[in-house]
A and B are shown apart, each in its own frame.
Chain A
Amino acid sequence: MHAQMMGLTAAPKPDKADALTQALVRRARNGDGEAFSTLIAGQYDRIYGTAWRWCGHRDDAEDIAQDVCVKIGQAIARFDGRSAFSSWVYRITLNAVRDWQRARARRGRHADAYAEVWPKEAEAEQEAAATSSQLWEAVRSLPEKQRDAVLLVYAEQLSHAEAATIMGIKEATVSFHVFEARKTLRGLL
């Protein structure tokens, strides 16, 4: 899904899925419950995936994804269409992750020092998986802005411009955060 950037540049031709999502969003905004159900069912995996990449635990990711779904249900009528729906969902998800992490910090429960290596991930050699999970762990421990920038650009494979829209910052700033993250991780890894 491409975020349709506002501006005078020709937008890429929206693919079918994109058009369908837009239609569903429009219907849901007008109070169509069926459309909303279809829409949220289609979005769930992406939301859950994002949540998992950001926090690295299945249980937590499921909780966050549920919160995000509820928030979308509450707020979709007010979604103004000024940004792409996918960007809006990302934004809500990132906020939910942040809230959840803060709440967790308040509760004084610290994240496990090492992320588990999931059996699904370990289909390659154990070592590669371990390296990869170390990298994930390191990225997740970055400062918020850097982490968001890196994960949006690399894990979610969005363009810098899209990441900038989601994070509410300038495109150049995204590149800067990614650069900073690299610097930080050189020290870490």
Chain B
Amino acid sequence: MSFPEDKDPFEALKSGAVPPPRAAARERALNAAREAFDAEQKKTAQAPKGKPAGGRLMSIINSLKGISIMDMRIPVGTAAIALLVLPLGWQLYNTTSLTPTSQVVPQVNQPVELAATDADAAPEPAPVTEAREETAVDTEVALADQAEAVAPIAPAPVMSEESEVGRATAANKMAVGMPAPVTSAAPAGGMMAESVADYMPPSQAVVPSGDEFAAFDEQRLKVAAEEPVSTFSLDVDTASYAYARRQLEDGYVPERDAVRIEELINYFPYAYPAADSADVPFKPTVMVYPTPWNERTQILQIGIKGFEPPVADTRSNLVFLIDTSGSMDEPDKLPLLKRAFGLLLDQLGTNDTVSIVTYAGSAGVALKPTSADNKAEIMAALDQLYAGGSTAGAEGIELAYRLAEEAHIADGTNRVILATDGDFNVGIDDPEKLKDLIANKRASGVSLSVLGFGRGNLDDATMQALAQNGNGNASNISSFAEAKKVLVEEIGGTLHTIAKDVKVQVEFNPAVVSEYRLIGYETRALNREDFNNDAVDAGDVGAGTTVTALYEITPVGSGGELVDPLRYGGTDVGPASEEIAFLKMRYKLPDSEVSQLIEQPVTASVVYGDIAEAGVDAQFAAAVAAFGQKLKSSVYGTAMNWDEVEALAQAGRGTDEGGYRAEFIRLVDMASLLKPDTHTDVCHVSVSSEECD
């Protein structure tokens, strides 16, 4: 083939017809793109300012590329360093090392691109510092933000007496565009209150995890004379502890909203006396002992342990609803899930039925209801699951419920166990409709539990909501050890409900208790009138589960009150009584719709003068509460330092059969490194708590 000289051979390329793409491929590509986009949005939604690891193609102009004769990058880079670093170094040398202040200038790993990108393309800063008036983003402020977001952990320098010098330093640094502590309370160089205004914002960068948590406000202190009654629903979940543990072990401080203190406390088994029969499935254990972080207050601890029927008597019909979307294809997700279910299977026997439904990716029934005797068959079905494909909304959840109803066991456990890494695309897109469906199915006797796997994609809020609506529990399975705990040691609690809709109502006696505060349970608060309304859903207690709730109470006349007494009256409290409080609990037996009532006064007979006398469980629960409060920078109870928390936990170790308490002590160590005690938290001194919630 040859071309005449006058004709451009390439002209023929114009007419090349492209065979059309197949519609399915196009659909696939568009879905995948949309998913990638959404995932990216999720990631950047909470990301702190700064450049995430792994650069992307920011521009198509890659100058300095392909200059093969002489690589200009080194000389240019050197010149840039000389121009930038030397003056800065000089400035630093002049303003810090020779001036008598304790100002510590954080290192800034300043990505150069940031200054170049325009303001709206920069991701939103994480709300870790003050809410500044949104002004036009200039490079200096961007730099300062950078410093807040990526500075390593540095003790917050508090202004010394030479704050004049310090101010000059700050002003100087502003002048050369160095990150200076920008606070909402005072602009640099302005008048400032000594203690508050001039600390460095917390440099503990919360790394965007990609996991989502519902935000909640902390329980506030209540005045017993004004609000004597406190009502909440029990919470038997433990997901928050598993998540926090994993974050800490990887060297991150978990986000505030990821720490639910009651779930931290309830992760651990406690040795409360169990109930005698299934008719009254639990009895409360109450103790009052001094608060370890506040000498003027006491802790009222309420603990229950669910009745544990012998395993042979239980019958379960379980449907595993397994997420097989592509994101499950990680060693700590689907493969771990298979091993975990292998463990669970070993706990089941002739009385039990198992079925498997998958959604997303390979959707459909993987195993029809099968007696748990046929272990080989069930394991084979599990082994065949593979993660692949994008999330195609198959009718996963309805299918699961259909199978559960098909194999329904009249007086046993009927439960759908949803295992996912955060993809809830189970066939109903609308979360509200999904909740309604689950609540309706709950009424027909099929409950739902959620097991979360992996990290980076978890949608904790949805997990909690589904489990709460489904009378089940939500757990995070982060390791094989955790799988063993949830599915072997506490299988009764995981599978067999002994009491439904357990509500707690405590009425404090204002003559004895002036203020009180429930620790944790923020997401489980109930209205006072909900207590006697059997239609209101609440937490469920599984066989052998222990649940603990702590109140911090301020006795009258102890001087520990945070709220000033009223000037005009209001001091008239009812008939003087010796009782500290009155505890009421309501629960329903699993197959009943009418609630039972348990009542018990809290009298001086359960008050201990020393926390050690109250026993190891009291010490340990208090240590976990202190740990949780410190971890989330609570406005209460952070007066203990890490060593004291650790000592208290050590004292409360007891026999520790599962080794969980020892593990917790290790976590306290880890937390003390990641969030040192000297660390001043912005929320301690903040005028409003808006930006801290």
Partner of B36, one of A61, A70, A153: A70
In the bound complex, residues from chain B placing their C-beta under 8 Å from that of A166 are 60
Within 8 A of B (CB), among A156-170: 157, 165-166, 168-169
Residues of A in contact with B (beta carbons under 8 Å apart): 28-31, 33, 36-37, 40-41, 44-45, 48-49, 52-53, 58, 61-62, 65-66, 69-83, 87-88, 91-92, 95, 118, 120-121, 131-132, 134-136, 139, 150-151, 153-155, 157, 165-166, 168-169, 178, 181-182, 185-186, 189
B2 close to chain A: CB less than 8 A = yes
Closest residue of A by beta carbon distance from B117: A80
Given A44-B29, A131-B1, A134-B1, is A165 in contact with B37 using a C-beta cutoff of 8 Å? no
Inter-chain contact A66/B37, CB cutoff 8 Å? no
> Whole-angstrom distance between the alpha carbons of A39 and B58 in the complex?
19
Inter-chain contact B29/A83, CB cutoff 8 Å? no
In the bound complex, residues from chain A placing their C-beta under 8 Å from that of B59 are 80, 82-83
Inter-chain contact A52/B11, CB cutoff 8 Å? no
B34 close to chain A: CB less than 8 A = yes
Inter-chain contact A185/B37, CB cutoff 8 Å? no
> Whole-angstrom distance between the alpha carbons of A62 and B41 in the complex?
25
Given A45-B21, A155-B16, is A91 in contact with B60 using a C-beta cutoff of 8 Å? yes
A186 to chain B, nearest CB (A): 8
Can you list 18 contacts pairing A with B, beta carbon distance less than 8 Å? A33-B37, A36-B37, A37-B34, A48-B26, A58-B22, A65-B21, A77-B121, A79-B58, A80-B117, A81-B118, A82-B61, A95-B57, A132-B12, A155-B16, A165-B60, A165-B61, A185-B9, A189-B2
B227 close to chain A: CB less than 8 A = no
Given A62-B25, A62-B29, A165-B60, is A53 in contact with B40 using a C-beta cutoff of 8 Å? no
Given A36-B34, A74-B37, is A154 in contact with B11 using a C-beta cutoff of 8 Å? yes
In the bound complex, residues from chain B placing their C-beta under 8 Å from that of A134 are 1
B17 close to chain A: CB less than 8 A = yes
> 4 other contacts beyond A118-B19, A135-B9, with CB at 8 A cut-off?
A44-B30, A53-B18, A91-B57, A131-B1
> Whole-angstrom distance between the alpha carbons of A153 and B14 in the complex?
9
> Whole-angstrom distance between the alpha carbons of A164 and B151 in the complex?
40
Chain B interface residue count, CB cutoff 8 Å, equals 49
> Whole-angstrom distance between the alpha carbons of A131 and B15 in the complex?
12
Main SS of the interface on chain A?
helix
In the bound complex, residues from chain B placing their C-beta under 8 Å from that of A58 are 19, 21-22
Given A69-B29, A83-B59, is A77 in contact with B12 using a C-beta cutoff of 8 Å? no
Inter-chain contact B3/A136, CB cutoff 8 Å? no
Partner of A74, one of B15, B25, B40: B40
B113 to chain A, nearest CB (A): 9
Inter-chain contact B44/A77, CB cutoff 8 Å? yes
Interface string of B531-543 (1 = CB under 8 A from A): 0000000000000
A98 to chain B, nearest CB (A): 13
Inter-chain contact A48/B21, CB cutoff 8 Å? yes
Closest residue of B by beta carbon distance from A134: B1
In the bound complex, residues from chain A placing their C-beta under 8 Å from that of B65 are 168
In the bound complex, residues from chain B placing their C-beta under 8 Å from that of A186 are 2-3
In the bound complex, residues from chain B placing their C-beta under 8 Å from that of A91 are 57, 60
Closest residue of B by beta carbon distance from A47: B29
In the bound complex, residues from chain B placing their C-beta under 8 Å from that of A41 are 30
Inter-chain contact B9/A182, CB cutoff 8 Å? yes
Inter-chain contact A53/B61, CB cutoff 8 Å? no
B120 close to chain A: CB less than 8 A = yes
In the bound complex, residues from chain B placing their C-beta under 8 Å from that of A45 are 21
> Whole-angstrom distance between the alpha carbons of A49 and B18 in the complex?
6
Closest residue of A by beta carbon distance from B36: A73
Inter-chain contact A169/B37, CB cutoff 8 Å? no
Closest residue of B by beta carbon distance from A95: B57
> Whole-angstrom distance between the alpha carbons of A96 and B118 in the complex?
27
> Whole-angstrom distance between the alpha carbons of A40 and B3 in the complex?
40
B34 to chain A, nearest CB (A): 6
Within 8 A of A (CB), among B382-422: none
Inter-chain contact B33/A135, CB cutoff 8 Å? no
Closest residue of B by beta carbon distance from A70: B36
> Whole-angstrom distance between the alpha carbons of A157 and B346 in the complex?
66
A179 to chain B, nearest CB (A): 11
In the bound complex, residues from chain A placing their C-beta under 8 Å from that of B591 are none
Inter-chain contact A62/B60, CB cutoff 8 Å? no
Interface string of B20-46 (1 = CB under 8 A from A): 111001101110111111111100110
> Whole-angstrom distance between the alpha carbons of A169 and B39 in the complex?
34
B10 close to chain A: CB less than 8 A = yes
> Whole-angstrom distance between the alpha carbons of A53 and B17 in the complex?
9
B238 to chain A, nearest CB (A): 34
Closest residue of A by beta carbon distance from B51: A78
> Whole-angstrom distance between the alpha carbons of A66 and B21 in the complex?
11
In the bound complex, residues from chain B placing their C-beta under 8 Å from that of A80 are 58-59, 117-118, 121
> Whole-angstrom distance between the alpha carbons of A87 and B530 in the complex?
61
Closest residue of B by beta carbon distance from A34: B34
> Whole-angstrom distance between the alpha carbons of A187 and B587 in the complex?
89
Closest residue of B by beta carbon distance from A66: B29
A188 to chain B, nearest CB (A): 9
> Whole-angstrom distance between the alpha carbons of A95 and B14 in the complex?
22
> Whole-angstrom distance between the alpha carbons of A73 and B19 in the complex?
25
B13 to chain A, nearest CB (A): 4
Inter-chain contact B16/A132, CB cutoff 8 Å? yes
Inter-chain contact A76/B25, CB cutoff 8 Å? no
In the bound complex, residues from chain B placing their C-beta under 8 Å from that of A135 are 1, 9, 12-13
In the bound complex, residues from chain B placing their C-beta under 8 Å from that of A178 are 10
Inter-chain contact A155/B44, CB cutoff 8 Å? no
A84 to chain B, nearest CB (A): 9
B678 close to chain A: CB less than 8 A = no
In the bound complex, residues from chain B placing their C-beta under 8 Å from that of A83 are 59-61
Scoring B18, B20, B39, B56 by chain A CB atoms within 10 A of each residue's CB, the highest score goes to B18
Inter-chain contact A31/B3, CB cutoff 8 Å? no
Partner of A29, one of B22, B36, B58, B121: B121
In the bound complex, residues from chain B placing their C-beta under 8 Å from that of A49 are 18
B682 to chain A, nearest CB (A): 27
> Whole-angstrom distance between the alpha carbons of A88 and B62 in the complex?
12
Scoring B3, B16, B26 by chain A CB atoms within 10 A of each residue's CB, the highest score goes to B16
Given A77-B121, A189-B1, A189-B3, is A66 in contact with B13 using a C-beta cutoff of 8 Å? no
In the bound complex, residues from chain B placing their C-beta under 8 Å from that of A81 are 118
Partner of A70, one of B9, B17, B33: B33
In the bound complex, residues from chain B placing their C-beta under 8 Å from that of A40 are 30, 33-34, 37
Inter-chain contact B14/A52, CB cutoff 8 Å? no
Given A37-B34, A62-B29, A189-B1, is A154 in contact with B58 using a C-beta cutoff of 8 Å? no
